[in-house]
């Protein structure tokens, strides 16, 4: 019986000691918060401060800082992270510190903590940050971490101590303000051509630096502030193909949004050409017989104003308005055009087909010869050119459709001219009823810089009811 009583007393004594130990443990927990995090990370807080250390038991080759993260990178012989935070309200999230494969990602959207990252120098190959994130490089001599049951004591760098969160945020704001001021001055100072050269130079430097970094990643001393300011303002690196494609897209967007102003999109053009016609759209240079035979003459010109409504580095679409003037010089001295638009030799219509018969009916031309005469036809149009352009560097190829309306004025029509020492005579006969009221021409031009060649053909006949189809053709020079 006594043995049973002793056993019960011993059990109650042990139970009371366990309860007292638990109460002591709870009292200690009240003065210190212990947070159990994913991946085995433990955060200890005391007196409103956080000092958190997390070992990384794998190789890290890529470091990325996003959001407003404040990161201090130290080369060491082991991989781990130490987090220093002023606020006990900071809540760990899965995407603040994330390890995937060999990539370590720090994404602190509000910048409430300072991340001291120790990585092996020989393993690390690429370092990347977004515009608002900050990465500084610390130099570590000895780092001694002493872990106790109730707190964590972290001895900071002997040569570059950790900054507080508020100090780093203030320094980042000042750096952002200085960078924005420099960018504004640069945009005012540089011209459009300097922007283009700058883009090309960035592409070349990116390729060279990525090649060098892939072979050996070397970081200068943290005291070299000039180097790191230039580095952070100009270059970021990442090994993923998607980021490289994003960088190329940003360069394309830069050209689309900033590289082309009104002076780039607005383009006046002057075209001067030889002209002739044929019975098909493609054989205008083969000429026609009889009264339809023309002299190939440099008497066609056009003036156009176009605006590029769509413009990229290699493609553009332009709309505009143009004015066209064409003079067709006949080989026969005297020709006429009937009411249907048929052209015939004036002398062939005379009874004896002799110039003397023409003189008999026109005594005022007595003493002249047939060779003193010349006949020509003048047409003018208002056009609406639509151009598709393709560009490679300074070479551009354009395809243009030119719907146009014919103009009938006192200066257009069939013109006869007599020029001798004694007589200076000319007359103009309107051809507005015979001429087709509208037309659509097609043009192709090739230009290098602003000067090139063009070929223009008609898709319809010049006269609307003539027995002979006439398709004008032009070949000449373009200045755009």
What would the pLDDT profile of 413-460 be if each residue is shown by its tens digit? 999 999 888 888 999 999 999 999 999 999 999 999 899 999 999 999
Which range has the worst mean pLDDT, 196-205, 303-312, 395-404, 411-420? 196-205
Phi and psi at 5, nearest 5°, equal -65, -40
Rounded to 5°, the CA angle 160-165-167 comes to 70
In the chain, pLDDT over 90 holds for what percent of residues? 39
User: In angstroms, how far is the first alpha carbon of the chain from the final one?
Assistant: 119
97: which residues sit within 8 A by CB, 6+ positions away?
41, 54, 81, 83, 104, 105, 106, 115
CB 381 within 8 A of CB 404: yes
Q: Give me the pLDDT at residue 301, please.
A: 97
Region of residue 331 (left: phi > 0; alpha: psi -120 to 50; beta: else): alpha
Question: Cα separation of 420 and 475, whole Å?
Answer: 33
Q: Give me the pLDDT at residue 170, please.
A: 60
* Model confidence at 250: pLDDT above 90: no
214-218, 262-266, 268-272: range with highest mean pLDDT: 268-272
Phi and psi at 361, nearest 5°, equal -85, -10
In the chain, pLDDT over 70 holds for what percent of residues? 70
Radius of gyration of the chain (CA): 43
Rounded mean pLDDT of the chain? 78
Q: What is the mean pLDDT of residues 329-353?
A: 91
| Residue 80 DSSP label | E
Question: Cα separation of 342 and 292, whole Å?
Answer: 9
273-277, 351-355, 364-368: range with highest mean pLDDT: 273-277
Q: What is the mean pLDDT of residues 408-413?
A: 92
Task: Give the number of other CB atoms < 10 A from CB of residue 55.
Answer: 13
CA distances from 177 to 4, 85, 140, 174 (A): 82, 25, 30, 5
205-219, 233-247, 249-263: range with highest mean pLDDT: 205-219
Task: Give the number of other CB atoms < 10 A from CB of residue 469.
Answer: 15
User: Per-residue confidence at 361, pLDDT binned at 50, 70, 90?
Assistant: confident
Which helix (H) or strand (E) covers residue 242, if one does?
helix 241-254
CA distances from 126 to 197, 199, 219, 240 (A): 27, 23, 11, 11
């Amino acid at each position: 019986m006594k043995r049973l009583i002793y056993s019960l007393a011993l059990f109650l004594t042990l139970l009371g000691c366990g309860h007292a130990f638990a109460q002591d443990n709870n009292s200690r927990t009240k003065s210190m918060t212990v947070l159990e995090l994913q991946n085995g990370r433990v955060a200890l807080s005391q007196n409103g401060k956080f000092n958190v250390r997390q070992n990384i038991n794998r190789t890290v080759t890529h470091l990325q800082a996003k959001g407003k993260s404040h990161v201090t990178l130290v080369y060491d012989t082991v991989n781990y992270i130490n987090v220093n935070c002023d606020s006990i309200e900071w809540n760990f999230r899965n995407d603040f510190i994330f390890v995937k494969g060999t990539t370590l990602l720090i994404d602190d959207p509000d910048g409430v903590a300072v991340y001291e990252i120790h990585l092996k120098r020989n393993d690390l190959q690429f370092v990347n940050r977004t515009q608002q994130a900050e990465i500084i490089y610390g130099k570590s001599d000895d780092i001694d971490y002493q872990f106790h049951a109730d707190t964590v004591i972290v001895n900071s760098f002997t040569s570059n101590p950790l900054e507080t969160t508020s100090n780093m945020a203030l320094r980042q704001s000042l750096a952002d303000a200085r960078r924005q001021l420099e960018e504004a001055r640069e945009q005012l100072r540089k011209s459009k051509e300097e922007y283009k050269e700058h883009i090309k130079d960035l592409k070349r430097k990116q390729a060279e630096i990525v090649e060098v970094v892939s072979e050996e990643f070397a970081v200068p001393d943290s005291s070299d502030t000039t180097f790191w300011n230039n580095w952070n303002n100009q270059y970021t690196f990442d090994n993923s193909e998607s980021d490289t494609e994003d960088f190329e897209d940003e360069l394309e967007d830069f050209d689309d949004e900033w590289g082309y102003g009104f002076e780039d999109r607005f383009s006046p053009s002057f075209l001067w050409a030889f002209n002739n016609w044929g019975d098909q759209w493609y054989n205008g240079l083969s000429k026609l017989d009889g009264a339809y035979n023309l002299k190939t003459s440099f008497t066609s010109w056009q003036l156009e104003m176009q605006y590029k409504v769509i413009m990229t580095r290699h493609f553009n679409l332009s709309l505009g308005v143009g004015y066209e003037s064409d003079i067709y010089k006949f080989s026969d001295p005297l020709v006429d055009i009937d009411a249907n638009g048929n052209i015939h030799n004036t002398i062939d219509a005379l009874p004896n087909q002799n110039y003397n018969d023409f003189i008999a009916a026109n005594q005022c031309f007595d003493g002249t010869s047939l060779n003193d005469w010349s006949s020509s036809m003048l047409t003018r149009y208002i056009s609406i050119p639509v151009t598709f352009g393709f560009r490679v560097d300074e070479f551009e190829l354009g395809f243009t459709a030119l719907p146009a309306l014919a103009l009938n004025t006192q200066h257009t029509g069939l013109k006869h001219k007599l020029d001798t020492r004694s007589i200076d005579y000319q007359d103009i006969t309107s051809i507005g009823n015979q001429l087709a009221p509208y037309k659509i021409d097609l043009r192709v031009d090739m230009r290098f810089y602003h000067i090139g060649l063009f070929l223009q053909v008609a898709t319809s006949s010049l006269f609307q009811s003539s027995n002979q189809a006439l398709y004008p053709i032009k070949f000449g020079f373009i200045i755009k």
